Amino acid sequence: MKTNILEGTKAIHQDMKEWMDHMHQFPELAMQETETAKFIAEKVKSFGFEVAQGIGKTGIVASMTLGDNKKSIGLRADFDALPIQEDNQLAYKSKVEGRAHLCGHDGHTTMLLGAAKYLSQAKNFNGTVRLIFQPAEETMQGGPAMIQDGLFEKFPVDAVYGMHNMPGLEMGKLYFREGETMAAVDNWEIELTGKGSHGSMPELGIDPVVCGASLVMALQTIVSRNVSPWQNSVVTVGAFLSGNAGNAVPQNAILRLSIRNMDPQLREKVLDRIRTMTKAQAEAFNCQYEIREGIPGAVLVNTPENTQWAAGVARDVFGQEKVEDTLHPYMGSEDFAFMLQKKQGTYCMLGNGDTPMVHHPQYIFNQEILPIGAAYWVGLTEAYLQ
């Protein structure tokens, strides 16, 4: 075991807590992370990294080259927050109403900052390490935006690695999986337009609420009656927005959907059923409709060789008992999938312990795992850039 790495990151644990506390108190939503980006950039510059800002709008790439080795490795962390009200009594609770880091992205970024500080001090590598701080993971915008902005052309890497904390998994243990690991997500919005009227005279209007309610129920049959029980698919209507008064028929209704699939062909089938059902329900209730389709989803596929190698490095750093390579696939989604379409690499889970799930108002990132995540990043860098 390379216990010296973990001991080294534990030595900067207090620094990492302070960095995370700051980011947690001032959360910023996807593609609005300007102050968080400045904070990150200032930190990595102070460690001696060469820093490029504004990649994919608010993204950052911090690079450091030592020696004459031409090899390069990319390490990625996300840093956007969620539009959810936090419900806890943390001393560093979010100071922004209705916004919070309830997925742990502040912790992910902190772990990469911790690795940056360690690497800049130890200087125990030969080659180039690139730290990719990515915005807008929650909206699936950040990864594609950085790629389209020339991420891998301007900042070449041989492989790229990602990591996410996961409640329900043993605290401090790393979990790996080869191949398909997370689902493709499609975030759609459906707007139904009717005709407003007084609630006492519904015959003079066209009610988009009734149409929307029928559509919500119809959409539930896609998975239950169109998808084999042996396949995985999820259709969730997470928001139904319409009207403000109980005595008025509103003019329109908006449904926001999260659609997740692990198989590309099944994904197309499910999306086509949503289009067909929306058209049929709108016509049945005499409403107009518009479907606004978001960024096309992508399945996150871990490269087998890189996954095996990364798990081996983790065992060297933490010991056999702290590493699992039997992670089950998740129907959650990650725009790191788009990076893995361009580069080989892998995405692993770091156990957050017995806490509420990510996106829950009472979720808390376990700060005890900060040195572990940082040590994993250091281990990968030193092992690859020997």
On the question of pLDDT at 55 being above 70, the answer is yes
Confidence (pLDDT) at 2: 73
Is 348 marked within a binding site?
Answer: no
Taken as a whole, the chain contains a residue count of 386
Is 103 marked within a binding site?
Answer: yes
DSSP 8-state code for residue 5: H
Is 138 marked within a binding site?
Answer: yes
Residue 236 bridge partners (DSSP): 258
Task: Look up residue 48 and give its amino acid.
Answer: G
Average pLDDT of 158-169?
A: 98
Are 83 and 97 within 8 A, CB to CB?
no
Mean pLDDT, rounded, of the chain:
97
On the question of pLDDT at 1 being above 60, the answer is no
Band (149; pLDDT cuts 50, 70, 90): very high
Q: Find how far residue 110's CA is from the centre of its chain.
A: 15
Domains of the chain with CATH codes: 3-182+299-384 (3.40.630.10), 184-293 (3.30.70.360)
pLDDT single digits (tens) 68-111: 999 999 999 999 999 999 999 999 999 999 999 999 999 999 99
pLDDT single digits (tens) 327-384: 999 999 999 999 999 999 999 999 999 999 999 999 999 999 999 999 999 999 999 9
On the question of pLDDT at 3 being above 90, the answer is no
> Cβ–Cβ contacts within 10 Å for residue 354, how many?
11
Is 359 marked within a binding site?
Answer: yes
